Amino acid sequence: MPIQIEPVGGRRELAAFIDLPYRLHRNHPQWVPPLRLERRLFLSPRFNPFFKHGEAQLFLARRDREVVGRISAHIDHAYNRYHRSHWGWFGFFECVEDGEVAKELLEAAAGWLEQRGCELMVGPADFTMNDESGILVDGFSAPALIREPWHPPYYQRLVEGAGLEKAVDLYVWRIHADDYRRTHPMIFKLAERLEADHGIVVRRMSRLHLRKELDRFAEVYNAAWAKNWGFVPYSKEDLDAFVFDIQLVFDRDWMMVAEKKETGEPVAIAITFPDINQVLRRMNGRLLPWGWYHYLRRNRIMTWIRVGFLGVKPEYQHTGVAAKLYVEHFETARRKPHKDGHCGWILETNLAMNRAMAAMGSEIAKTYRMYQRPLSGESRRSGA
């Protein structure tokens, strides 16, 4: 049967777009069903701050009226202004094991981006690199923690078979949060001397003043990640939305900021999340009838953590403040039920951070791959 690609334009199509991964992956134990309500809000231009600086189009692939694939095409204008680029992105890629369906979906995304003057299509990212990103190419049996997508092995074959090439790999490291014996002794020596040698102390973030704490986070993030592939600075609207997301999984013990003792200047941050995916797996995508019960019991369920952000301003990277944050994670794990976890993603090109993870006795648990494909950008060059 012929494949039909159609834009998502109404509630029924949006429901089909959201539903597809539940059908494709429901029998795969590593896939975690997100809350359907959360997915609707995330895809809504009214509620997702991405749409204040970006635009998107969702597509469905059908064969004989059955949905067999989905994809988004989107443009982050804030990213392009910051980098003076003409990039477009694809994301939310899900597909049956059929190369023709994948090719048609990616062609639809590329065509939409070309019409708007984009010169390169990169992805997948849902909608930015701080959301779920990449195609899983290694580590299929590892658990999918918060904001870590899971894909079957054939996705790599579909995307590469459609002509996309590797842009960069993203590593997720397995950390043994309660086992400091794996860590190189120098980490502890650097951490111990931090306050005496450099006047830097580590404290926990305040939930009461979390929005102000995220301004400090953004100050560090926008400096420490500035040269990373795919980076775009956090905006005020992004931080406003981030507060709401963090509140749902907030654990003060895992939210750290390092500051100059005398001035209070933030120099490094670590934002670590207890793994809410362990709860979502039991909720099976719904709050009712019993999903809310599992969420209320989340502190009894979550035993893993994910280090989502750990960064240091460039001018302080020689101080050993990162080592102090690592040691604080070990100390926290001794008091908490979270004994295992993941750190990342980390770019394969970030040699210093990858060496630091190895020095802590961690090992790479997963590899995600970002892809790219040149576009003509004809409409931009013609002045359309």
| Segment 287-303, tens digit of pLDDT | 767 677 677 777 788 88
Domain containing 16 — which CATH number?
3.40.630.30
Residue 67, helix vs strand vs coil: strand
> Tell me, what's the pLDDT at 377?
60
Q: Indicate whether 157 and 197 sit together in one domain.
A: no
Distance of CA 22 to the CA centre of its chain: 20
pLDDT tens profile 306-346:
998 999 999 999 999 999 999 999 899 888 888 889 998 99
Name the pLDDT band for 80 (thresholds 50, 70, 90).
very high
pLDDT, averaged across the chain: 91
Note the pTM of the prediction, 2 decimals: 0.92
β-pairing, 87-95 vs 200-204, is unpaired
What domain range includes position 155? 3-168+370-381
> Tell me, what's the pLDDT at 380?
42
> Tell me, what's the pLDDT at 302?
87
Q: Indicate whether 196 and 229 sit together in one domain.
A: yes
The average pLDDT across 181-197 equals: 90
Of the candidates 177, 175, 135, the residue with the CA atom closest to the CA atom of residue 365: 175
Q: Indicate whether 162 and 181 sit together in one domain.
A: no
> Tell me, what's the pLDDT at 179?
76
Q: Indicate whether 198 and 232 sit together in one domain.
A: yes
The average pLDDT across 60-77 equals: 96
Q: Indicate whether 182 and 161 sit together in one domain.
A: no
The average pLDDT across 11-17 equals: 96
Q: Indicate whether 239 and 99 sit together in one domain.
A: no
Name the pLDDT band for 384 (thresholds 50, 70, 90).
very low
Contact between residue 344 and residue 167 where contact means Cβ atoms under 8 Å apart: no
Cα separation, 266 vs 264, in Å, equals 6
> Tell me, what's the pLDDT at 277?
87
Cα separation, 41 vs 47, in Å, equals 6
The average pLDDT across 49-76 equals: 96
Contact between residue 330 and residue 180 where contact means Cβ atoms under 8 Å apart: yes
DSSP state of 180: G
382 pLDDT exceeds 50?
Answer: no
57 pLDDT exceeds 90?
Answer: yes
* Distance between start and end Cα atoms, the chain: 36
Q: Indicate whether 205 and 343 sit together in one domain.
A: yes
Q: Indicate whether 162 and 184 sit together in one domain.
A: no
Contact between residue 180 and residue 313 where contact means Cβ atoms under 8 Å apart: no
| Residues linked to residue 259 through DSSP beta bridges, in sequence order | 201, 266
Q: Indicate whether 140 and 190 sit together in one domain.
A: no
119 pLDDT exceeds 60?
Answer: yes
| Residues linked to residue 371 through DSSP beta bridges, in sequence order | 123, 166
pLDDT tens profile 125-147:
999 998 999 999 999 999 899 99
Name the pLDDT band for 116 (thresholds 50, 70, 90).
very high
Contact between residue 314 and residue 224 where contact means Cβ atoms under 8 Å apart: yes
| Listed range (74-83, 92-101, 115-124, 286-295) with the worst mean pLDDT | 286-295
DSSP for 87-142? EEEEEEEEE-S-HHHHHHHHHHHHHHHHHTT-SEEEE-EESSTTSEESEEEE-TTS
The average pLDDT across 366-371 equals: 98
Residue 161: CA count within 13 A, CB half-sphere: 14
Q: What percent of the chain has pLDDT over 90?
A: 71
Number of domains, the chain = 2
Q: Indicate whether 75 and 102 sit together in one domain.
A: yes
| Alpha-carbon dihedral angle through residues 288, 291, 295, 299, given to the nearest 10 degrees | 160
pLDDT tens profile 198-253:
999 999 999 999 999 999 999 999 999 988 898 988 888 889 888 888 888 889 99
Contact between residue 365 and residue 174 where contact means Cβ atoms under 8 Å apart: yes
3-state secondary structure 276-309: CHHHHHHHCCCCCCCHHHHHHCHHHHCCEEEEEE
> Tell me, what's the pLDDT at 381?
42
Name the pLDDT band for 21 (thresholds 50, 70, 90).
very high
> Tell me, what's the pLDDT at 5?
96
Q: What percent of the chain has pLDDT over 70?
A: 97
Q: Indicate whether 290 and 163 sit together in one domain.
A: no
Q: Where are the alpha helices (DSSP H) in 297-374?
A: 298-301, 321-335, 351-359
Name the pLDDT band for 378 (thresholds 50, 70, 90).
low
Name the pLDDT band for 379 (thresholds 50, 70, 90).
very low
Number of CB atoms found within 10 A of residue 344's CB: 27
Q: Indicate whether 123 and 224 sit together in one domain.
A: no
Distance of CA 19 to the CA centre of its chain: 21
